Amino acid sequence: MASNLPPITRMLKTWREQRDPRAMPGFTARYGSRQRKGLTQRDMADLTGVTEGYYGKLERGQLDNVGTDFLKSVSRVLDLDEAQQTHLWLEVYGFAPPPRRHPDLSTIDPVVAAIVHELPWPAYTFDHRWDIRAFNEQAARDYPWMLHGVNVMIWALTYREARLQLKDWLEKWAKPMASQLRLSAKAHPDDARLKEVCAEIRKDEVARRILDDDVTSVTHPDGDRRRLYLPHQEEEVEVEFVALGRLSNNTRLMVVMPASIRQDVKDAIPSTIAQVPEGTPSTPASV
């Protein structure tokens, strides 16, 4: 009977069966559409990078020395909130998980953060280490990993969920982003947090080779168009990155726009504005 099962078995089985695969970006494209909610143990194994037998032992409570990275991956795949994650860690380790990384409020530019929350598209601010400072609801909806306090580079280069969501992950995403990280590491050789980010990325063998051995040269993604999958959408979509910054404190703002935005804006401009007479000044006169 279910009541005789260990608590960890009941918890993981319940959470796994409640998880909507369509909410996981790229899941349908890789595994096909499902008629009902729920992930199988095989799904969980593949999405967390272990064998089905290994995951099954976790669900039966038969694993010793469970790695924290693996358990964090399980938490993200199942979209556990902080209370659920705490319950899981208590069952496995007997103590609560470390607190999720939250940005120091003193490092958040309130003006730029206000802009982020007013934008209708996914937007977030970050620093030269790619630690996120502020993000809006649209960003959390399309990129749920942000809710877990994850560094942008660590997510994109090492997480299996990223390789599921990001189309042409290696060439279009991983190599250009690793290039940006290399440049930042060169420019800030004494930055302890940046060293920590690079060390975390090097734990993944594929990401380590890209970071250390690839020769792609990219300074920024502004204007780049890339394809990815979004939650509850079966078809891939194309987005355009708009990178902005505030000069006074080097706050970086990223807006992830639909690739059709240029045409959408052009169509929305009244013809009387779009057709400016020749000889009309394009900027106001200086005062």
CATH of the domain at 239: 3.30.450.180
Transcribe 37-105 into DSSP letters: ----HHHHHHHHTS-HHHHHHHHTT--SS--HHHHHHHHHHTT--HHHHHHHHHHHTSSPPPPPP---G
pLDDT score at 159: 94
Q: What is the pLDDT of residue 11?
A: 95
Q: What is the pLDDT of residue 102?
A: 74
Q: Are residues 146 and 258 in the same domain?
A: yes
Q: What is residue 240's predicted lDDT score, i.e. its pLDDT?
A: 97
Per the structure, the complete domain to which residue 224 belongs is given by 105-266
**CA gap 183, 211 in Å, rounded:** 11
Same domain, yes or no: 53 and 136 = no
Pair (88, 112) in one structural domain:
no
Are 12 and 71 within one domain?
yes
d(CA 210, CA 223): 23
Helix (H) or strand (E) holding 274: helix 271-274
The answer to the question of residue 75 being in a domain is yes
* CA dist list (Å): 142 to 125, 168, 231: 16, 18, 6
- Considering Cα of 153, then 162, then 146, then 40, what sign does the dihedral take? negative
Asked whether residue 271 is domain-assigned, the answer is: no
pLDDT along the chain (287 residues), means of 10: 79 96 92 89 94 94 87 93 94 89 80 96 96 95 88 95 95 97 97 97 97 95 96 94 92 94 67 54 45
The secondary element (H helix, E strand) that includes residue 252 is strand 251-258
- pLDDT reported for residue 287: 36
3-state secondary structure of 251: strand
Last residue of a domain, one of 63, 92, 121: 92
**pLDDT of amino acid 286:** 41
Q: Are residues 134 and 253 in the same domain?
A: yes
Residue 189: what pLDDT? 97
pTM score: 0.85
- Give me the pLDDT at residue 62, please: 87
Residue 43 identity = D
